[in-house]
Structure 1
C-alpha cells in the first residue's frame, strides 16, 4: 500500500461504493464524541484503528492491527480518514 493522494468526500464515497474499505484512524474519544462514519450503504464495514492515542502518543501497534483487520493483499483499496487529514496521510504512508 502507499499514499495515493487526497480525496474529496465524494471521491472517497465513490471508492467505498466500489468496494474500498474505510480505515478511521481517529482516537476512541473522537469516535465517541464526534461519531463514526455510516458505511451501511457500502459492502464493507469500516475499520477503527487509532493512529495516535490521546496526547498525540503514537499507536505502536497500528501496522499490526491494520494487518490483522484488513483483507490480505488482495488488491482491496483502503481509504484513510481522520479529522484534519494529517493522521490519515501519515497512516496511509506507513501502511
Structure 2
C-alpha cells in the first residue's frame, strides 16, 4: 500500500527550487489563504496551487479534489507537495492524490503554521513560517 512521506518545509522548499515539475499544493481554505498568508514561491519561479481539501464552512471533503489537480495540468510524473495548517489535512489530501493516480505525493510536515506554542499561538514552533521560509499575505 502506498504511503505519503512527511518531508520538512526546508526540504520541500529545496525540492521546489530544484525540480521544475515539483508543485506545492496548499489545501487550506480560502479564509486561511486570505487571513493567514501563503507560501511565497516567487524565488522558485512558481506559485502554490490552491485547492481546498475541505470546503468552508461545512468542512466537507472536496469531492472534486482530484479533478482540480488534473485540470491544473498535473500528471503522475509531477512531484506533489501538499501543505495545510499543521500537516493533517495535507496528509489526507496526499493519500487521496495517490489513490487517484498521483504516486509522487509528499506531506509537508507541520504545515504552514505548525503546532501551537505554550501561549496557544501558531507559526513559531515548527512549519513553513517558523522555518523562516518565504511567505506573504494575500
Q: Deviations over 1:12-66 (max 9, x none)?
A: 1111111211000000000011011100011332100000012421111111101
Query: Does the alignment pair 1:58 with 2:61?
Result: yes
User: What are structure 1's unaligned runs of at least 5 residues?
Assistant: none
Task: Please tell me whether the aligned partners of residues 25 and 50 of structure 1 are also in contact (alpha carbons under 8 angstroms).
Answer: yes
RMSD: 1.5
- Alignment map for 1:28-67 (pairs within 5 Å): 28-54=30-56, 55-67=58-70
Separation of aligned partners in 2, 1:21 and 1:8 = 15
Residue segments in structure 2 that go unaligned for 5+ positions in a row: 98-138
- Specify the structure having the higher radius of gyration (Cα): 2
CA distance in 1, matches of 2:48, 2:9: 15
**Aligned positions, number:** 93
Instruction: Tell me which residue corresponds to 1:94.
Output: 96
In 2, Cα distance between equivalents of 1:6 and 1:90: 12
50-59 vs 78-87, which moves further: 50-59
User: What TM-score, normalized to structure 2?
Assistant: 0.62
**Structure of higher RCO (CA pairs closer than 8 Å, 6+ residues apart):** 1
Q: TM-score, normalised by structure 1?
A: 0.88
Residue aligned with 1:41, SS: helix
Report the counterpart of residue 72 of structure 2 in structure 1: 69
Is 2:80 the counterpart of 1:78?
yes
